Chains A and B, each alone.
Chain A
Amino acid sequence: MTLLTVTGLHKSFGGVVAARDVSFTVARGEMLAIIGPNGAGKSTVFNMVGGQLGPDRGQVLIDGQDITHASPQARFRGGVGRTFQVAQTFLSMSAAENVQMALISRFRQSRGLWTPARERHRAGAVDLLAQVGMAEAADMPCSALAYGDVKRVELAIALAGQPKLLLMDEPTAGMAPQERAALMDLTASIAASQGIGVLFTEHDMDVVFGHAARVIVLLRGQIIAAGTPDEIRQDPQVRRAYLGDSHALEPSQGTGPA
């Protein structure tokens, strides 16, 4: 069942073409990875799917509904949740309050004027934090958390909206290698059990090849290859794109990256 359909997305910034005729689909419960070198246009694609950027051309459909021009807010209500490359959380609030805020918004209570925010949806928020292994830190100020933990809180915030589609722009950047695999395992199990489609990008190829069902490769805004992890590893064009770093595509020998 197709959840997300992206067709012919195009975006340029001045002279730089950041996305050129990008098309792909994500099914429910599927994990799709976008990879590509720095500046390939991965975040640009995420932002066009998430609503942070408007495309110059092309279409974004969720469950057959055209959301190409919908605001990020409308997409949230339509079932799109996301994390950002540079984690975006509310640093003046505790971890729990961050998630509570998302729940408050989901239940359309954000204009409530009486019952204090910190008393609303507390249990639900702690549950979500527990899912990402952050229950103990519920009352820590978000500004005092390690970056890896902030990314986890961000995931809990995204899940609070009960998304159908989860966009994760470099979810494990800033984490230790073992943590990365654990977080992606967790994401995979949540995605599978709730039927959430996940679109993610990573520079860590172990994470990509270990967790994605399919991979698409972006180079200078263009998709140069798409397929299963094995197909991508063998693809000569991809190997050329990662020239000088082609061992990045090999399965890891157990030694973590330097």
Chain B
Amino acid sequence: MIALDPSFLAVQALSGLSSASSLFITACGLTIVFGVTRIVNFAHGSLYMIGAYTAATLIPRLLEFSFGPTAFWAGILASALIVGVIGVIIEVVLLRRIYGAPELFQLLATFGVVLVVQDLVVQVFGPEDILGPRAPGLRAPVDILGRRFPSYELALIAAGPIVLGLVWLLLRRTRFGVLVRAATQDRDMVASLGVNQALLFTGTLFLGAFLAGLGGALQIPRVSANTGMDLAIIAEAFVVTVVGGMGSVPGAFLAALIIGQLQAFGILIFPKSTLVVVFLLMAVVLAIRPYGLFGRAEVIGGTHAVGIASRKPQPGRPFILLFTVAALAGFPLIADAYLLKVATEILIFALFAFSLQLLIGVGGLVSFGHAAFFGLGAYGAALAVKWFGTSMETALPLGLALAALGAGLIGAFVVRLSGIYLAMMTLAAAQILYAVAFQWVDVTGGDNGIVGVWPSRWASGPVPYYLLTAALTLVAVLLLKRIIDAPFGYALRAARDSEARAEAIGLAIRRHRWLAFIAAGAAAGLAGGLYAFSRGSVDPSLLGISTSVDALTMLLLGGIQTVIGPLVGAGALHALRDWIMPLTPLWRLFLGLSIIAMVLLFPRGLVGTVRDRWEARA
């Protein structure tokens, strides 16, 4: 171990306190917004990033104008106010329309905002990172037990409690605050507010966005504003709010303090990944207290009971199946190598999205970290090839088994949770795996991943690999479909529709949900393994948030209420990507807007919308 001298410990603890402050200021806004609107706002991290960019651009101008602390702090405040206004715009244009929507839609829509902001920030502020000025008056380091410590960090340490105090005063001493607290305590109360409701929600978004902007602006003397800030902070802010209990400001403060120290000293234990330590903390807290430190059972997000409903069996199903098999088998006759490659990928992602459908559409379990299982399948297969020299025939089942095992472990944790806590915990699990893949360089190859993962000779080449993928995907989808129609799938739906009723007729809800995680994980793992061999390599991005969101987008695009929706969605998303990405550098903007438009205009997805039209005509 490292020899720990007191001055080192003191400096570590202090920097822990200053990151706790920054984290609290940002997370406090997130938790207040959640408390009132019950929306988990992914775009909160984007607001933080805008705050940092705005401050880093605005404050140098102000300092040119009149150099001094006043200009600096006025600039910080102005940036936060600007972000507050942006928050109001987001509320009026988007959030207002989705307060009653299922939480999956809320998560996706606000993630759409994240994508939009990512491209807009580059358009407005340019692609370069922007290093902000240091704070006038706080430039000289101070001496702490013989070590130099930046004095700006001390100011940050003070900022946390100051903001806590001001927010406390606001919540206790103003009418707005009384309403915010009442709405956080009692959902029905908000409905009875009538006209004031819109004002309350808009005001809350202003406050939340202001705090996010403040948190971001305060960072500029420490780190340059960059395009990765949004997702980095949102992950941490989620952990803080979830650990503290969603909607609880004191909870967020306590959680931020704990996490700040954990990060400061976690570096000593896990030099490379404080994120893992932080997520493990969340796992432990949620295992003991499923609603966080100060959270309460009532404070759960919107409804999540949307999904597949019973439908009469279609006549002529054997024909549809035969036709599908024939079309899949005949495709190589008309397609060139490129098209086959695209078709192979679409099939793989169709299976991936379909496996998620078992959790979300059937079980009502909004998993936001489905990439974990896809990635485990891919890495499982690739590691088997790299370290044990196995063939594809062995590696694919091994990948599937690893994914099923991972799903069993993660599932055992998360089936105790509900709604938004489950979504956050699955996201955290995927992020932990991402960090492991990224940082365990000796085994996983780190950022570069693993290369040389090629199929066996009989399956190599576009046509054979396409046929293999088509066959395995078809079989897996048919099996999953069978499960969905079988008592097991119905039991999942029963628990989704009414937990109280399901328990009262003797269904072991958690057991079923756990098994659903394993089945969905195994299918996603198969998809991941197939993907690894189709590309010949794996890398950590397979485990990343964007992979999870891809699967969710496909579901949304195709329609959650339908069984074949995810299959259509996979094709549609892929087509959109292939078609738009080469045309414009703004594809994130486009994708984000499409997601938002889907949520607002076609919440039933492509298949659902078409089916509704069809049935309305019949």
Which residues of A does B touch, CB under 8 Å? 50-52, 71-73, 76-77, 81-82, 84, 88-94, 97, 101-102, 104-106, 109-118, 120, 141, 143, 154, 157-158, 160-161
Most buried by B among A50, A76, A90: A90
Which residue in A88, A106, A112, A114 is a CB contact (below 8 Å) of B506?
A106
Contact B504 A72 (CB under 8 A): yes
User: Given the complex of chains A and B, what is the CA–CA distance between A89 and B490 in angstroms?
Assistant: 13
Q: Does B89 contact A (CB under 8 A)?
A: no
Which of A77, A88, A113, A118 is within 8 Å of B501, CB to CB? A88
26 contacts between A and B (CB under 8 A): A51-B503, A52-B500, A52-B503, A52-B504, A73-B507, A76-B503, A89-B501, A90-B497, A90-B502, A92-B305, A92-B307, A92-B308, A92-B496, A93-B493, A101-B490, A102-B505, A104-B491, A110-B508, A111-B491, A112-B488, A113-B482, A113-B486, A116-B486, A117-B489, A117-B490, A157-B505
B219 to chain A minimum Cβ distance, whole angstroms, is: 41
CA distance A19 to B496 in the complex (A): 30
Asked whether A76 lies within 8 Å of B504 as measured between CB atoms, the reply is yes
Knowing A73-B506, A90-B493, A111-B515, say if A97 contacts B487 (CB, 8 Å).
no
Q: Supply 20 further A-B pairs (C-beta < 8 A) apart from A92-B309, A93-B310, A111-B488.
A: A72-B500, A73-B508, A76-B503, A76-B506, A84-B500, A88-B500, A90-B494, A90-B502, A91-B305, A92-B493, A94-B310, A102-B505, A105-B505, A105-B507, A109-B487, A110-B491, A112-B487, A113-B487, A120-B487, A161-B505
Query: In the complex the two chains form, what is the Cα distance from A102 to B506 in whole Å?
Result: 8
With A92-B310, A93-B493, A94-B310 in contact, is A115–B486 under 8 Å at CB?
A: yes
Query: Interface majority SS on B: helix, strand, loop or mixed?
Result: helix
B416 at the interface (CB under 8 A from A): no
Instruction: Report yes or no: A104 in contact with B512, Cβ–Cβ below 8 A.
Output: no
Instruction: List which B292-325 residues lie within 8 A (CB) of chain A.
Output: 305, 307-310
B393 interface contact, C-beta 8 A: no
Q: Is B485 an interface residue when CB atoms closer than 8 A count as contact?
A: yes
B498 on interface, CB distance cutoff 8 Å = yes
Among B305, B307, B491, the one with the most A-chain Cβ atoms within 10 Å of its Cβ is B491
Number of interface residues of B (CB under 8 A): 30
CB–CB B490/A93 < 8 A:
yes
Residues in chain B near residue A50, CB distance under 8 A = 504
Nearest neighbor of B503 in chain A, beta-carbon distance: A72
B504 and A101 within 8 A (CB): no
CA distance A13 to B358 in the complex (A): 37
Complex Cα gap A27–B336 (Å)? 77
The 10 A-B residue pairs with the shortest CB-CB distance in the complex, in nearest-first order: A76-B506, A88-B501, A92-B309, A117-B490, A72-B503, A112-B487, A90-B497, A102-B505, A110-B491, A116-B485
User: Which single residue of chain A is at the shortest CB-CB distance from B511?
Assistant: A111
- The answer for the CA separation of A118 and B506 in the assembled complex, in Å, is 19
Q: Is the CB of A118 within 8 A of B485?
A: yes
The answer to the question of B142 belonging to the interface, with a C-beta cut-off of 8 Å to chain A, is no
Q: How far is the CB of B570 from chain A (nearest CB, A)?
A: 24
Closest Cβ of chain B to A75, distance in Å, is 8
Cβ < 8 Å to A, chain B residues 508-531:
508, 512, 515
- B497 touching A91, Cβ below 8 Å: yes
Select which of B310, B482, B515 is within 8 A of A141 by beta carbon.
Answer: B310
Of all chain A residues, the one with the shortest Cβ separation from B310 is A93
> Closest Cβ of chain A: how far from B494's Cβ, in Å?
5
Q: In the complex the two chains form, is A113's CB within 8 Å of B307's CB?
A: no
A112 & B505 in contact (Cβ 8 Å cutoff): no
Chain B residues lying within 8 Å of A88, measured Cβ to Cβ, are 498, 500-501, 504
- Residues of chain A contacted by B507 (CB below 8 angstroms): 73, 105, 110
